[in-house]
Chains A and B, each alone.
Chain A
Amino acid sequence: MNKNLKSYSLISISLIFFIFLDLISFSQTADQIKPSLFLLSFIYWNIALPEKMNLFFAFIFGFLMDFIQGTVLGLYPLILVFISYLSQRFFYQFRPLKFIQQALVIFFIFIVIRFMIAVDLNDSNPNSLTLADKEYVLISIAFAVLNALIWSPSHYVHRIYRRKWIKI
């Protein structure tokens, strides 16, 4: 098999696997704060193999996420395009950071993602630009903290997978 095609397939398989894991449902509150393993995986691949991650990944997986999450079509592709660009623009600066510093960056990325999702695109609430309330902010912080904490083990697992299967 073509080397590039093999790498794309292996990256896609890992992303689909994490979408599967994200779809597993617990209680309603737990579902709202459980870490998004798919997004962590997407960030990892953009940082670890930027030359293999093009914008097609952002669009295809973005549309998939839009359908799964019920968001307006184009919102997740927009988020993933931003993540791709920022990750690939700053991966040289990001890679040498300590895990605690990386976790802090991840925390801010996920907070921003949650607020992007909360933008009132359908104008459901004419008095405000966002649908976020106090409870949503607290849940978003918990969600971002959990993602930041999971980043390190997720990075480790991804690295093992990459070294075992993906040859550059």
Chain B
Amino acid sequence: MSRGDHKVSKITSEAIFVVRPITSTSFLISLVLCLSLLLVDIKYKVSDEIRGYAHDVLLPIYKTVEVPGKFINKVLDIWQTNQELRKKISSYKEDNEKLQLINSQLKDLTTRNQELNLVWESAQIDKEAYLLGQKMKLSSNPIKPILILDVDDPNSVLLVNQPVLSKEGIIGKIRSVGLRSVEVMLSQDPQSLIPVISSESRLHAILKGHGLERKGRLINVKKTATFKKGEELYSSGLGKVFPPNYLVGRVIHVEDKPDNEFLNIEVEFLKLPEEQEYFLVFAK
């Protein structure tokens, strides 16, 4: 054993073969390094520049992790009998017919709205404006929920702050871009702010997230505002980050607290579709 690997007893002068823990100096240096990194990242958001590329590197890991789940699903699928599958097909056919009917109604509504020049802009039905992203991972961190998408389109122009949509409406915006991976800041994130307009009272407000599976809040709403419980909130398009008229959430609670100068309005976000594999990135 080399010199310095053990201590010597002051009483008996015998060697004490203890493993030397991390020295206080190296611990303090590491601590200072970590705190400096934290401060730099908080102030200059340096990590946002590299997170996308880091997810590019981690992409094989995310894909490998999905393999057991996919395998189990495959086995379960094989176990299903033909009869069950036939039943499913017939029910899907029924659903499909209903959907086609609803779709035709929606098309009719969209045409009417366009005629009236009210809400829908041509961008909304422009297929080129959307990029398809496959879900790689949904972070379990309730306070910092992130979604990682794999946008495998070499012609795509991915930029920070582009909105991300599920089939229901807006679920967040891009925070970091890699070669083909993007990190999405979800609308539930405490840092997320979305300008919204209510469906009935037509009032503008800003919707702030409070974490995964938590209610969002409309901030700085004056007490004279007449938001109603149950009304839907759509993106207003102010700020020019989110396109207008997409569903964002629903007002579920309006409270006028005497000790608060603003109204306390709680909002239920769109449910994060855990089973949904693909999301749309609005790239215009």
| B140 at the A interface (CB under 8 A) | yes
A residues 3-35 touching B (CB-CB < 8 Å) = 19-20, 23-25, 27-29, 31-32, 34
Taking a contact as CB atoms under 8 Å apart, the answer to whether B213 and A51 are in contact is no
B47 / chain A contacts, CB cutoff of 8 Å: 66, 72-73
Taking a contact as CB atoms under 8 Å apart, the answer to whether A131 and B27 are in contact is no
Q: Nearest B residue to A36 by beta-carbon distance?
A: B140
Choose among B54, B65, B140, B190 the residue that contacts A131 (Cβ–Cβ < 8 A): B190
Taking a contact as CB atoms under 8 Å apart, the answer to whether A131 and B22 are in contact is no
Task: Please encode chain A, from 109 to 138, with 1 for each CB lying within 8 Å of some chain B CB and 0 for all others.
Answer: 000000001101110110000011101100
| A54 at the B interface (CB under 8 A) | yes
| B151 at the A interface (CB under 8 A) | no
Taking a contact as CB atoms under 8 Å apart, the answer to whether A71 and B141 are in contact is yes
With A20-B65, A122-B191 known to touch, is A88 a contact of B42 (CB < 8 Å)? no
Task: Please encode chain A, from 43 to 65, with 1 for each CB lying within 8 Å of some chain B CB and 0 for all others.
Answer: 00000001100110011001000
B residues 65-97 touching A (CB-CB < 8 Å) = 65, 68-69
Stretch at the interface among A78-86, A96-104, A147-155, A156-164: A78-86
A73 / chain B contacts, CB cutoff of 8 Å: 37-38, 41, 46-47
With A66-B47, A67-B55, A121-B42 known to touch, is A32 a contact of B140 (CB < 8 Å)? yes
- In the bound assembly, the distance between CA atoms of A62 and B41 in angstroms comes to 15
Best-buried of B34, B36, B68, B145 by chain A (most CB within 10 Å): B34
| B278 at the A interface (CB under 8 A) | no
Q: From residue B141, how far is it (CB to closest CB) to chain A in Å?
A: 5
B64 / chain A contacts, CB cutoff of 8 Å: 20
Q: From residue A107, how far is it (CB to closest CB) to chain B in Å?
A: 19
A59 / chain B contacts, CB cutoff of 8 Å: 30
B40 / chain A contacts, CB cutoff of 8 Å: 74
- In the bound assembly, the distance between CA atoms of A99 and B85 in angstroms comes to 50
Choose among A25, A62, A136 the residue that contacts B142 (Cβ–Cβ < 8 A): A136
Task: Please encode chain B, from 4 to 43, with 1 for each CB lying within 8 Å of some chain A CB and 0 for all others.
Answer: 0000000000000011111000110011011111101110
| B143 at the A interface (CB under 8 A) | yes
Best-buried of B22, B55, B138, B272 by chain A (most CB within 10 Å): B22
- In the bound assembly, the distance between CA atoms of A70 and B55 in angstroms comes to 10
Taking a contact as CB atoms under 8 Å apart, the answer to whether A50 and B41 are in contact is no
Taking a contact as CB atoms under 8 Å apart, the answer to whether B21 and A25 are in contact is no
Task: Please encode chain B, from 45 to 69, with 1 for each CB lying within 8 Å of some chain A CB and 0 for all others.
Answer: 0110001001100100110110011
- In the bound assembly, the distance between CA atoms of A81 and B24 in angstroms comes to 12
| A75 at the B interface (CB under 8 A) | yes
| A139 at the B interface (CB under 8 A) | yes
Choose among A23, A50, A85 the residue that contacts B62 (Cβ–Cβ < 8 A): A23
Q: Taking chain A's interface residues, is the majority helix, strand, or loop, or is none over half, making it mixed?
A: helix
| B115 at the A interface (CB under 8 A) | no
B residues 237-284 touching A (CB-CB < 8 Å) = 272, 274
Taking a contact as CB atoms under 8 Å apart, the answer to whether B35 and A78 are in contact is yes
- In the bound assembly, the distance between CA atoms of A152 and B82 in angstroms comes to 46
Q: From residue B244, how far is it (CB to closest CB) to chain A in Å?
A: 25
A118 / chain B contacts, CB cutoff of 8 Å: 143
Taking a contact as CB atoms under 8 Å apart, the answer to whether A72 and B41 are in contact is yes
| B212 at the A interface (CB under 8 A) | yes
- In the bound assembly, the distance between CA atoms of A24 and B66 in angstroms comes to 7
A25 / chain B contacts, CB cutoff of 8 Å: 65, 69, 137-138, 140
Which 8 residue pairs spanning A and B have beta carbons closest together?
A74-B37, A31-B140, A88-B21, A70-B146, A124-B190, A78-B34, A73-B47, A74-B38
- Could you list 26 A-B pairs, sorted by A, with CB under 8 Å? A20-B64, A23-B137, A25-B65, A25-B140, A28-B212, A28-B213, A50-B19, A51-B19, A51-B20, A55-B27, A55-B30, A66-B47, A68-B137, A69-B141, A70-B145, A70-B183, A72-B41, A72-B47, A73-B41, A73-B46, A73-B47, A78-B31, A78-B35, A85-B21, A125-B190, A131-B211
Additional A-B contacts beyond A72-B41, A77-B37, A132-B143 (8; CB < 8 A): A28-B212, A28-B274, A50-B19, A72-B42, A81-B27, A85-B21, A121-B42, A135-B214
